Structure 1
């Protein structure tokens, strides 16, 4: 069994999503001692955003030396994802959606013929055998029953992305309201860490 642990926060040790994603990974590795873990920090080692040159190369066009290295990095990210049985993602909300670093990673794993394909009935996901757990941190409150619900484009986006490639049961652990004040931050973090501890092992 392989676990891929992804972090995308730019805040380093001050990050709530990193703290919670680490707790999730720790819970799963303790429950399954033989679990092999691959860690990717998308801030410390970012992937480039897609460009016209990337898309041209994907269609068989020539790639210069610099682009070839970048394409190899993207292939490595895809290979890590394909090899993973469990994927744990630390995903803070920045300006109502995911960090740009996480979007760059998603662009490398949504690949036709690898994680999805188009058929006569439309798109079909090819990665449905994975378990995906997302540790979310949000400064405010964006639940379905809140005034800001329409501005929530992190969880809804990730549900769609992973559903598109066949992962329909994405698990979310959220720390909400961390920018409201110190007491709310502590309560949110403690609640998320408890949820990580209570996470089912398999």
Structure 2
């Protein structure tokens, strides 16, 4: 039995382009993998601490700074919650990330989640055989699968605005840093071609149904 994290980053809960495709992916996945555990993380409705002054003071400690026992109760709660989030990500075998594109980027809650899972010693570490990756660091999450489902009103995967695609490229770069390959399903161009929006969505849904069966 595998564990799949289904991560949604949208203030709405249904009836958006990204969520509609994501829901069909999940339905098809459950049918193809009935024994797998699926955990839904709704980032807009979960306890997701931001990196703030309290958490920054914890980075690199010990040996410098206050010990965990010396922190305030609020700081302890944040540190524990951040550890729970990264441990949950590490334990998952597969991850699906579903989000819209806003202003050519990902929603802020998804960036906050990514900050929570990029943790030295948990998801990346130092390479043993010379310098690799970013300053000799190496991802520790090889073998995990990630599917990224993204909706954008503008076509970003190719064409005129390709150099303004900062959403999937960010997810892909971070996951590569962690040692993970990413697959992508894009629902794009719905604002540019509103008369074709339903067709664009349906094409992405069919792609998602096929991909889920093999994921």
State the superposition RMSD in angstroms.
Answer: 1.6
Stretches (4+) displaced over 3 A? none
Tell me which residue corresponds to 2:142: 128
Tell me which residue corresponds to 2:107: 99
Size of the alignment, in residue pairs?
200
For residue 198 of structure 1, the aligned residue among 180, 186, 210 is: 210
Tell me the alpha carbon deviations over residues 149-196 of structure 1, each in whole angstroms, 9 at most, x when there is no partner. Answer: 1110011111100000000x2110110012235432212211111001
TM-score (norm 2): 0.87
Q: Is the 8 A contact 2:49 2:81 kept in 1?
A: no
For residue 163 of structure 2, the aligned residue among 134, 139, 150 is: 150
For residue 199 of structure 2, the aligned residue among 166, 184, 187 is: 187
More divergent stretch after superposition (59-68 vs 121-130)? 59-68
Matched, 1:74 2:74: no
Structure with larger Rg = 2
Unmatched tracts of structure 2, length 5 or more? none
Q: Is the 8 A contact 1:8 1:91 kept in 2?
A: yes
- SS across alignment from 2:44: coil
**Deviation (angstroms), 1:64:** 1.7
Unmatched tracts of structure 1, length 5 or more? none
Matched, 1:29 2:30: yes
**Deviation (angstroms), 1:83:** 1.1
Once residues 150 and 88 of structure 2 are traced to their aligned partners in structure 1, the CA distance between those partners, rounded to angstroms, is: 22
Equivalent residues in 2 for 1:7-22, closer than 5 Å: 7-22=8-23
Once residues 195 and 49 of structure 1 are traced to their aligned partners in structure 2, the CA distance between those partners, rounded to angstroms, is: 34
Equivalent residues in 2 for 1:154-193, closer than 5 Å: 154-167=167-180, 169-193=181-205
More divergent stretch after superposition (18-27 vs 99-108)? 18-27
